[in-house]
Structure 1
Amino acid sequence: MVDASEFIDEAVEEIREQIGDANAVIALSGGVDSSVAATLAYEAVGDQLTPVYVDTGLMRKGETQGIRETFDFMDSLRIVDATDRYFDALEGVIDPEEKRAVIGEEFIRVFEREARDVDADYLVQGTIYPDRIESEGNIKSHHNVGGLPEAVDFDGIVEPVRDLYKDEVREVARELGLEEVISERMPFPGPGLAVRVVGEVTREKAEVAREACHVVEEELEEYEPWQAFGAVIGKATGVKGDNRVHGWVVAIRSVESRDGMTARAQEIDWETLQRIQSRITGENENVARVVYDVTHKPPATIEYE
């Protein structure tokens, strides 16, 4: 386990050495990885850093407002609405790896544009060790690692937590004094809801996934899962009232893990599962059924794509 205090001192000094007198932008998503990276970078270079949160349309429910409130101490925070850009780029894309490549391309191009506005030469991001292992090991490309385009218009990409596992990042977050809502927050994939929608990503499917994830997180809070969410995996026939519907199928996933490299599906009691399905199908007229995923990692990955 990392010595959090020692790591912070070393990371801050390393960031100062990498960035020097230049300016940098930090990719801020609201998760613990990017929040730790942002806090370390802010401590290292202060006003030379511009935090940028990009609303891709694929974020968690209430994420944008949460970012505003949590990071209001950073006066230079920029919030960018890139919803249309992302959905336009993802139109017709079905293959998971192509999807990740598209998101990686849009990710870097948006940050290049923001960097030009503030004359920044460096990009800081919250890549962690499992991201690198999965991308380099050909398991799946992470949008900010293997999913990045070859040509990137930055002098360098700074990754202060690149050698840490998730549990170690949480230790650093606690040592930095970040709020529990950040330090203990369950992981959320960099490509966002795009990897919780099987096949083409549309606004409708993303909204179904967003609401399902919100319900699952609320209902399973007492189980303290490593990660829990709802994913849109296809369509099936159902009945609502006296009418036949051909609606979305939402898969519920809840797993226990230490570092995300392996995971076990949680045993959830029947009453809780029924309450979840009742809320999801009742709150969205276009959802026909809800299923529970009992697959461990391996053979499955935690996310669907």
Structure 2
Amino acid sequence: MANQLCIVLDFGGQYNQLIARRVRECGVYCEIKRYDTPIEEIKALDPVAIIFTGGPNSVYDMSSPHISKDIFDIGVPVLGICYGCQLVAWTLGGEVKSCEKSEYGKIEISHNKGSLIFKDVPEKSVVWMSHTDYVSRVPEGFTVTAASADCPAAAFENAEKKFYAVQFHPEVTHSEFGKKMLHNFLYEVCGCKGDWVMDDFIEKTVAKLREQIGDKKVVLGLSGGVDSSVAAGLLSRAVGKQLTCVFVDQGLMRKDEGDFVEETFTKLFDMKFVRVNCQKQFLEKLKGVSDPEQKRKIIGTEFYKVFWDKIREEADGGFFAQGTIYPDRIESGKGNAAGKGSTATIKTHHNMVEKPADIKFDGTIEPLADLFKDEVRAVGEKLGIPHDLVWRQPFPGPGLGVRIIGEITEEKIKVLQEADAVFRDEIKKSGIESELKQFFAVLPDVKTVGVMGDHRTYDHLIAIRAITTDDFMTADWARIPYDVLARVSNRLTNEVEHVNRVVYDITSKPPGTVEWE
């Protein structure tokens, strides 16, 4: 690894990815490792910093994830966050107890002057707390550096050994100076150089791809989303016409999206573009299926079946490439904490499917496998990919298949495509598009009674969803002006066949998720 490395050890916290993203935003390359990664393996990676994540457990419960005390003897600065904070205390001889009064949400803390973690941070600031245990006694050699009304050790440190711990979550935006605190840890404590730069990433990756691929061919499974598009851009820059992109249009994309993808890639890149239209095949496989996870697996499996069948027609050795990004690997259960401290697999990613044994490649290329989504977008812009494509809103791998609740039919796809297009058009015209991080329509498996003219109708309900968020870990429903909602509702019921009712989802995350399935 040419870049300096910060390791995030995952103890099952829901913000493990967010911590790593924040570190990278500070210009330091960061990877997430399991909490039980062997010490020798960590030492071999030669990190400049180690961060312990939060987690849902209690350190005094011996079935919870723990770590060897040896981690503190390898000479690398350590920062413990939330559960990680308690783990630092417990492992080094401090004491952790259950809170008489738990802290959750925005809490004001006061810190002592002189701590490098709080350099240039106001003496009083608001942070995000989420804990039911607390450090009642810090280990020998440590000093308490911050406290809240109900938490006597909101932060503590052993500055000489460069061990730091904070009970709150500096990585979330609710902690108003949290990113500054992380920056201070990385630069003031660890002496990081800030050598993680996207321009360098592109240059190094293209050079590496050219060396790896040589004069061989590459086949990329193109979904039309941001990730595979940027992967295609990198590969096209590296090897040009040696790249073949196979675009499987399963009929579950947004209105006219397949045509947009084909037009963009045939004009923008020097490559071979192959489009496979197969909506009927997908609909047949999905007939009668309503379970969301089963739908995801069928769509993912069928996508690759169609893809590989096409590849068999043109198979000529070389490499297989895909747009896998770092969160894909983590959420699919690779790289996160194991056992009781593990983060649950929320969904199955469509691009984590094995290749068939009968098709032989010289290897698999995943040029974005270590990047987060915001980093992928930054690379896309620097590659000259159109802004509208790079900044397309997140779209699930199975497409509209998980925005149609219940069984998927051709009629439902048509209704949702039209409804989603109307909603998106009206938001764009309203001038509030930039205020929303994501917005889309959903077709629940619900029909309602309505009246149109003198006739009674019994037709589809459309739910619309719009959120604001800084990190997608938490999200709030967007306060769309009533006049905009009125126009959306009027257009949906008047312009989209088989729609007679519109509802607006006002659920935040948590307790809901952004998508419905």
Alignment match of 2:443 (pick from 232, 240, 255): 232
Aligned residue in 2 for 1:60: 254
Asked whether the equivalents of residues 327 and 372 of structure 2 are also in contact (C-alpha less than 8 Å), the reply is: yes
Give the Cα separation in 2 of the matches to 1:237 and 1:120: 57
Is 207-216 or 14-23 further displaced after alignment? 14-23
Aligned residue in 2 for 1:47: 241
Greater percentage in helix: 1
Alignment match of 2:501 (pick from 284, 289, 297): 289
1:263–1:131 CA distance, 2 compared to 1 (3 A): farther
Give the Cα separation in 2 of the matches to 1:107 and 1:37: 18
Give the Cα separation in 1 of the matches to 2:347 and 2:460: 25
1:164–1:250 CA distance, 2 compared to 1 (3 A): same
1:50-80 superposed Cα distances (whole Å, 9 cap, x missing partner): 0111111111111122123211244511111
Over alpha carbons, which structure has the higher Rg?
Answer: 2
- SS for the counterpart of 2:272 is coil
Equivalent pairs counted in the alignment come to 303
- SS for the counterpart of 1:214 is helix
Aligned residue in 2 for 1:103: 299
1:212–1:6 CA distance, 2 compared to 1 (3 A): same
1:219–1:270 CA distance, 2 compared to 1 (3 A): same
Give the Cα separation in 2 of the matches to 1:304 and 1:135: 19
Aligned residue in 1 for 2:16: none
Gaps of 5+ in 2: 1-24, 26-195, 334-343
Instruction: State the Cα distance separating 1:116 from its structure 2 match.
Output: 2.0
Percent identical pairs in the alignment equals 46
- Equivalent runs, 1:1-305 vs 2, <5 Å: 1=25, 3-16=197-210, 18-73=212-267, 74-118=270-314, 119-136=316-333, 137-145=344-352, 148=353, 151=356, 153=359, 155=361, 156-221=363-428, 222-223=431-432, 224=434, 225-235=436-446, 236-305=448-517
Instruction: State the Cα distance separating 1:291 from its structure 2 match.
Output: 0.8
1:233–1:34 CA distance, 2 compared to 1 (3 A): same
Give the Cα separation in 2 of the matches to 1:6 and 1:296: 38
- SS for the counterpart of 2:266 is coil
Q: TM-score, normalised by structure 1?
A: 0.91
Query: Which structure carries more relative contact order (alpha carbon 8 Å, separation 6+)?
Result: 1
Aligned residue in 1 for 2:181: none
Give the Cα separation in 1 of the matches to 2:242 and 2:423: 39
Name the amino acid aligned to 1:201. Answer: I
Give the Cα separation in 2 of the matches to 1:295 and 1:15: 44
Is 39-48 or 120-129 further displaced after alignment? 120-129
- SS for the counterpart of 2:330 is helix
Name the amino acid aligned to 1:100. Answer: R
Give the Cα separation in 1 of the matches to 2:331 and 2:487: 35
Instruction: State the Cα distance separating 1:150 from its structure 2 match.
Output: 7.6
Q: TM-score, normalised by structure 2?
A: 0.55
1:186-229 superposed Cα distances (whole Å, 9 cap, x missing partner): 12221111011001111111111111111122122332222211
Instruction: State the Cα distance separating 1:159 from its structure 2 match.
Output: 2.2
Name the amino acid aligned to 2:286. Answer: L
Is 269-278 or 11-20 further displaced after alignment? 11-20
Give the Cα separation in 1 of the matches to 2:204 and 2:441: 38
Name the amino acid aligned to 1:218. Answer: D
Asked whether the equivalents of residues 245 and 271 of structure 2 are also in contact (C-alpha less than 8 Å), the reply is: no
Is 74-83 or 266-275 further displaced after alignment? 74-83
Give the Cα separation in 1 of the matches to 2:323 and 2:483: 38
1:151-197 superposed Cα distances (whole Å, 9 cap, x missing partner): 56454443222222222211111111111111222122211110110
Give the Cα separation in 1 of the matches to 2:208 and 2:408: 39
Instruction: State the Cα distance separating 1:20 from its structure 2 match.
Output: 4.7
Name the amino acid aligned to 1:227. Answer: Q
